[in-house]
C-alpha cells in the first residue's frame, strides 16, 4: 500500500534545476494538451498571449472569449520569480518570510455559454522558497492544486462522474487522499458570508511536500492528467441541451457568487495581486458577465431552487 501523503509542513530540501525543469516541462505539456482537447470539442482556436514579468519569469496565456461553446476560457501557464514572498504566502509559514521565491503552475477556468454545462476550475502548481545565499539553509518546496465543479443546474450523474475520476487519480498514491482532499475542497471553496459552497466540490490540496519531491510531483501530475476525463464527458453530453433567457439569467446570477469567492477568499488571486502579478491573467478567471439581485429568491420547486440543496458538502462516491 502506498505511504500516506501528508500536506504539512513544507519539506526542506535542495530543489535542483533539473527538478524545476521537469515540472516546467510537464506543466507546459499539460497546458498544450488541455487546449488541444478544448479546441477539438469547441472547434474554435484559442488565442496565445506570451508575457514577461519585470521581477523575473513570465508566462503563456491561452484563451478564448465569445465563442459558441466557451463564453470565456483561460488555460494559463506561469513561471515567475521574486525577491520577497508576499503576505499571502507566508501567513501559514512565517519561517520563509523574506526569502526569494519561484512559482510555476497551470491555472484554468472555463465558463461555458450553455448554463447546463458547469463552470470548472483546475490548478496545479509548485512553489519554492529559496534558501538565502550563504545561509547554509535549504530550499523549502511544496505542491498544490485541485479541481472543482460549479454547476448552475445539477445533474447528479455528472457530479458523481467528476468525483469518481478524481478518486481514481489519487488512489494509487494514497487510498485516503481523495476523502481528505475532497473535505479540504468543500471547506476551501466555501462562501462564508453566503453559508454555501461554491459548487459541488472536487479536490483541493496545498503545502504538499511529503513523502518527498518525486512522489509529491507524481501526485500533482495525476491530478492534472485527470481533468480532461473528469470534465469533457459532461460537456459532450450537455452542449446541445436547449436553454433560454431564464437559464441565462440564472447563470449570470450564480456567476456573481463565483466572482465573490475569487475576489474575497481565493488565495491564488490574493497571491497574484500581492506579488505584483499580471492583472489580466489573474482576473481572466472571472466570468464575462455576472449579475447581482437584491434579496432574490428562486421560485419554490423550480429547477433554479433545486441548486440550493447541493450547495452543502455531500458524498458523491
Catalytic positions are: 121
Pairing of strands 201-208, 139-150: antiparallel
Q: Please give the Cα distance from 163 to 76 (Å, whole number).
A: 24
Nearest partner of 143 among 263, 5, 312, 41, judged by Cα = 5
Chain centroid, CA 32 distance in Å: 17
Instruction: Give first-to-last CA distance, the chain, whole Å.
Output: 21
Q: Identify whether the C-beta of residue 98 lies closer than 8 Å to the C-beta of residue 131.
A: no
Residue tagged 526542506 (cell numbers): 12
Cβ neighbors of 17 (< 8 A, separation 6 or more) are: none
Q: Taken in order 130, 90, 281, 158, is the CA torsion positive or negative?
A: positive
φ, ψ at 141 (rounded to 5°): -125, 155
Q: Identify whether the C-beta of residue 17 lies closer than 8 Å to the C-beta of residue 212.
A: no
Q: Identify whether the C-beta of residue 229 lies closer than 8 Å to the C-beta of residue 33.
A: no
Q: Identify whether the C-beta of residue 76 lies closer than 8 Å to the C-beta of residue 28.
A: no
- Which H or E run contains 178? helix 177-188
Q: Identify whether the C-beta of residue 142 lies closer than 8 Å to the C-beta of residue 206.
A: yes
Q: Identify whether the C-beta of residue 43 lies closer than 8 Å to the C-beta of residue 59.
A: no
Nearest partner of 292 among 252, 265, 258, 247, judged by Cα = 252
Amino acid at each position: 500500500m502506498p505511504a500516506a501523503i501528508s500536506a504539512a509542513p513544507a519539506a526542506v530540501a535542495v530543489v535542483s534545476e533539473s527538478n524545476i525543469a521537469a515540472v516546467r516541462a510537464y506543466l507546459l505539456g499539460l497546458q498544450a494538451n488541455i487546449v488541444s482537447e478544448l479546441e477539438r470539442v469547441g472547434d474554435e482556436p484559442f488565442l496565445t498571449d506570451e508575457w514577461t514579468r519585470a521581477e523575473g519569469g513570465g508566462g503563456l496565456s491561452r484563451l478564448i472569449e465569445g465563442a459558441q461553446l466557451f463564453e470565456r476560457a483561460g488555460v494559463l501557464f506561469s513561471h515567475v520569480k521574486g525577491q520577497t514572498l508576499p503576505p499571502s504566502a507566508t501567513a501559514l509559514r512565517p519561517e520563509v518570510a523574506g526569502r526569494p521565491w519561484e512559482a510555476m503552475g497551470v491555472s484554468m477556468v472555463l465558463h461555458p455559454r450553455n448554463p447546463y454545462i458547469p463552470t470548472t476550475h483546475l490548478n496545479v502548481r509548485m512553489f519554492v522558497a529559496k534558501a538565502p545565499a550563504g545561509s547554509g539553509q535549504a530550499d523549502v518546496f511544496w505542491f498544490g492544486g485541485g479541481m472543482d465543479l460549479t454547476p448552475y443546474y445539477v445533474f447528479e450523474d455528472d457530479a458523481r462522474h467528476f468525483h469518481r475520476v478524481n478518486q481514481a487519480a489519487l488512489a494509487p498514491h494514497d487510498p485516503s487522499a481523495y476523502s481528505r482532499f475532497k473535505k479540504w475542497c468543500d471547506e476551501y471553496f466555501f462562501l462564508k458570508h453566503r453559508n454555501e459552497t461554491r459548487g459541488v466540490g472536487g479536490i483541493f490540496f496545498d503545502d504538499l511536500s511529503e513523502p518527498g519531491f518525486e512522489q509529491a510531483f507524481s501526485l500533482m501530475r495525476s491530478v492534472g492528467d485527470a481533468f480532461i476525463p473528469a470534465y469533457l464527458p459532461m460537456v459532450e453530453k450537455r452542449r446541445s441541451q436547449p436553454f433560454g433567457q431564464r437559464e441565462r439569467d440564472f447563470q449570470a446570477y450564480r456567476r456573481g457568487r463565483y466572482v465573490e469567492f475569487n475576489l474575497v477568499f481565493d488565495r491564488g488571486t490574493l497571491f497574484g495581486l500581492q506579488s505584483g502579478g499580471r492583472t489580466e491573467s489573474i482576473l481572466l478567471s472571472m466570468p464575462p458577465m455576472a449579475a447581482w439581485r437584491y434579496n432574490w429568491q428562486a421560485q419554490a420547486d423550480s429547477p433554479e431552487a433545486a441548486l440550493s440543496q447541493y450547495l452543502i458538502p455531500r458524498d458523491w462516491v
